[in-house]
Amino acid sequence: MKRLKMNKMKKSRHNFHKGIELHKVCSNDLLRPVMNYIYFEHSYAIASDGRILIKAKVSEISNFNEQEIELLNGHFLHATGFRILMKHDVVSVEKDGFLAQGDSYSIKIHFYSDETMKFPNYQKIFDEWSPGDHRKIVLNTHYLSKIVDSVNAKDVRMRFGKNDNQGIILQFPVSDLNDTKGMIMPKLDSDDF
């Protein structure tokens, strides 16, 4: 008598893509608690620790549908919640948070709600940035590594602003991250080479 093997159908991942680590860009700052969260706004996920920032287009770093992405708008998710979320393959977006489901469990990861908490005006920095020429700039490579790792990018294009105090805009050319951008604030250096 032959035994029939029951093949379980593997569920395809419905979540942020594997390797996305936006939580690593967030800080653990008691004085500025908003920096401990990922903020969702206008189809983007924004994470910052005050020195570096990633503005990732949700449709590029996940396979959530348009309705789910719209439900994210205006919500905060703690970095720890995001890290937990990434451990699950099947996740749905609901009005009050994410629902992670497996064969024998379901876990709710709630959005944080506090009307007094405001994310810094990151868009103003992007809007005021303009390209320019620099002979030198000092860059903390740890910051660059954190940004690149947060979206699982292998290559990065750096665009430098006109002024020494403007941030460095990061783009990810050899990937599907066409509208995702990062920013690193430069370390000012008075030493001439």
Among residues 100, 83, 104, the alpha carbon closest in space to that of 92 is found at 100
Predicted pLDDT at 5: 47
Q: Which residue matches tokens 């050319």?
A: 173
Report the chain's terminal Cα–Cα distance, integer Å: 81
- Across residues 13-37, what is the average pLDDT? 93
- Across residues 141-163, what is the average pLDDT? 88
Predicted pLDDT at 9: 53
Name the band, by pLDDT with cuts 50, 70 and 90, for residue 24. Answer: very high
Per mean pLDDT, which range of 22-31, 51-60, 130-139 is the poorest?
130-139
Better-scored residue on pLDDT, 191 or 79:
79
Instruction: Please give the single-letter amino acid code of residue 99.
Output: L
Q: In what order do the strands lie in the sheet with 181-184?
A: 76-78, 37-41, 44-48, 52-57, 181-184, 168-171, 157-160
Predicted pLDDT at 192: 44
Instruction: Say if residue 162 is exposed, middle or buried (CB neighbours under 10 Å; 0-12, 13-18, 19+).
Output: exposed
Predicted pLDDT at 30: 86
Helix (H), strand (E) at residue 14: none
Q: What are the E-state strand segments in 42-193?
A: 44-48, 52-57, 76-78, 90-94, 97-101, 106-110, 157-160, 168-171, 181-184
Give the model confidence (pLDDT) of 167-193 as tens digits: 889 999 877 899 999 998 876 665 544
Q: Is the pTM of this model over 0.85?
A: no
Predicted pLDDT at 193: 40
Which ranges of 32-177 does DSSP label H, i.e. alpha helix? 58-61, 66-72, 79-85, 122-128, 141-150
Distance from C-alpha of 44 to C-alpha of 56, rounded to nearest angstrom: 5
Mean pLDDT rounded to a whole number for the chain: 87
Instruction: Say if residue 80 is exposed, middle or buried (CB neighbours under 10 Å; 0-12, 13-18, 19+).
Output: middle
Name the band, by pLDDT with cuts 50, 70 and 90, for residue 164. Answer: low
| 3-class secondary structure, 159 | strand
Read off the DSSP letter of residue 59: H
Give the model confidence (pLDDT) of 90-140 as tens digits: 999 999 999 999 889 999 999 998 888 899 899 998 888 887 766 667 778
What does the block give as tokens for 139?
């860059």
